[in-house]
Structure 1
Amino acid sequence: MTRITKIIFLFLLFFKTAYSQTTYPKINGYVGIMHPIVTFSEDETTTNFDGHYVVAFPIGINLWKTSKIGFSFEIVPTIKDEAGVSKSSNLTFHPGVLVPLGSGFSFAGRAAFETSGRYGFTPVFNKTLIKSENCSYYAALPLPARFGNDKPATFTIGFQFGVLF
């Protein structure tokens, strides 16, 4: 190996190592699909697929400040189909904090502001299922609690999956 070849090799090795390291702040985007499974209130318990179908499409950006804390902003349009009529029924603004829990798990603590006039919070537990070079696939357990707009408080258990890129 000539001297110039060694220098080029060492430069490329250094550049690859420096470039491939995770630096902060780090930005990710994601899209998903969320199905509320069951909703509880003081008046009733309702389940999705029982007389109606609700589906939501979370779209967000994560800004990791360090490897231990981040900020996330999510917008969630919701569609409801009931009696053969489907419509966009709500839009949720979902800012929150991100905390990694280890082993591919993370927690998002989100505030919730809905165009329906409701508000609340949504703790979300996420798990990365498949991680590749270009994207990751995840599953999540969102637990929305909602209040206001002259309706009883509700607590929902949902299931979400999506792609992080």
Structure 2
Amino acid sequence: MSFKHLLFLSVLITSPVLLSQTVYPKVTGYFGIMHPLVSLSKDQTNINFRDYYAVGFPTGINIWKNEKIGFSFEIVPNIKDAQGTDKVTNLLFHPGVLVSLGKGYAFAGRAAFETSGRYGFTPVFNKTIIKNKTCSYYAAIPLPVRFGNNHPASFTIGFQFGIAF
């Protein structure tokens, strides 16, 4: 058997293994819908769906350095409908670190910079619900903490779901 034949045979045998492995850095994108459920501050408690309707549309890119850690950049336009008037109320810039927790779970620790003048951080706990070859569907619990713009500090509990590709 010649060297060319051995090389061809080794490529043929190992190519399915090479093709099935994930190559890093791995880039993924996603789009979701985020509903803040309740927001708490020292002055008030606001409940979405009762006092008003607010929704955010997180759109981002994840860059996984390896299977355990990565970087994410997200932009979230927020819309609020209160007393029959709806408008875009805020645009959130949301960079952060990603940590895989295994079994489809991940943690995102995000810095938060809002065009409304607020800032803070957002821990997000994420679970892949359905994973296909071309996309996956996820659910997440974001826990935004915000400061600034002459408002008291606030804490929000939200629910997010979406698609990653």
TM-score normalised by the chain length of structure 1: 0.93
Q: CA deviation at 1:20?
A: 1.9
Tell me how far 1:19 sits from its aligned partner.
1.8
Gaps of 5+ in 1: 1-6
Report Cα offsets for 1:63-102 as digits up to 9, x if no partner: 0011111000000000000111110000000000000111
Helix, strand or coil at the partner of 2:152:
coil
Worse overlay, 42-51 or 136-145: 42-51
Q: Any idea what the Cα deviations from partners look like across 1:26-65, whole Å, max 9, x if unmatched?
A: 0000000000000000001110011310000000000001
State the 4+ residue runs in structure 1 displaced beyond 4 angstroms.
7-13
Matching residue of 1:47: 47
Amino acid at match of 2:67: S
Amino acid at match of 2:159: F
1:29 and 2:22 correspond:
no
SS in 1 for 2:43: coil
Shift of the alpha carbon at 1:105? 0.4
SS of 2:14's partner is: helix
Q: How does 1:104-119 map to 2 (within 5 A)?
A: 104-119=104-119
Partner secondary structure for residue 22 of structure 1: coil
Task: Confirm whether residue 17 of structure 1 aligns to residue 17 of structure 2.
Answer: yes
Deviation at 1:14, TM superposition (A): 2.6
Question: 5+ residue gaps in structure 2?
Answer: 1-6
Cα distance between partner residues in 2 of 1:163 and 1:13? 34
% identical aligned pairs = 65
Query: Which residue does 1:67 correspond to in 2?
Result: 67
